[in-house]
Amino acid sequence: MKYSNPEVYISAVDIQNKIAELGRRISEDYKDGELTVVSISNGAMLFTADLVRAVTIPMHLDSIMISSYAGTESSGNISLRSEFKLDLSGKDVLIVDEILDSGNTLFYTRRKLLEQNPASLKICVLLNKQERRKVDVNADYVGFEIPDLFVIGYGMDYKEYFRNLPYIGIYKS
């Protein structure tokens, strides 16, 4: 199947500038300790990689494969395909995801992590679509607020395509 690349919605430069800002804020907030970062699924890989390089404090990194998407819509059904590897008890934990949309995935992930009794638990997302929220979950660190658009690139996909774009575009079928 052949797809053409979408127009730029958020440029690669704007993304990197925002990540540098988030890295400074996170480093300052956790300057007296260390952090455990938990990255969500394939979509957050690029964002997490750039974010952890922008954070200047000691940290551990874990990832989990979880999803609630089917095509372009959140299905509401959570699919957990891996378990947490690190012991999070008593740790300061930061969940990193590329987008907070319906909130289903992050709500579920937050609940699962709280079962491990972390000292603190916060959420960092590159994109926040507040108007699509279906459950009570909010991010502590947000890169960009966006309207209800289906975005791709910089880790986000349509049928596994477009993850490798260095920018964020709007998908139009």
Structural domain spans, the chain:
9-170
pTM of the model: 0.91
Residues involved in catalysis: 101
| CB atoms closer than 10 angstroms to residue 103 | 22
pLDDT of residue 172: 83
| CB atoms closer than 10 angstroms to residue 129 | 20
- Measured CA to CA, the distance from residue 43 to residue 67 in angstroms comes to 10
pLDDT of residue 5: 80
pLDDT tens-place values along the chain, 173 residues long? 567 888 999 999 999 999 999 999 999 999 999 999 999 988 999 999 999 999 999 999 999 888 655 555 555 666 665 666 788 999 999 999 999 999 998 999 999 899 999 999 999 999 999 998 999 999 999 999 999 999 999 999 998 899 999 999 998 87
Provide the angle, in degrees to the nearest 10, between the axes of the packed helices 45-54 and 12-29. 50
| CB atoms closer than 10 angstroms to residue 100 | 23
Class of domain 9-170: alpha beta
pLDDT of residue 107: 93
66-70 and 73-80 as β-strands: parallel, antiparallel, unpaired? antiparallel
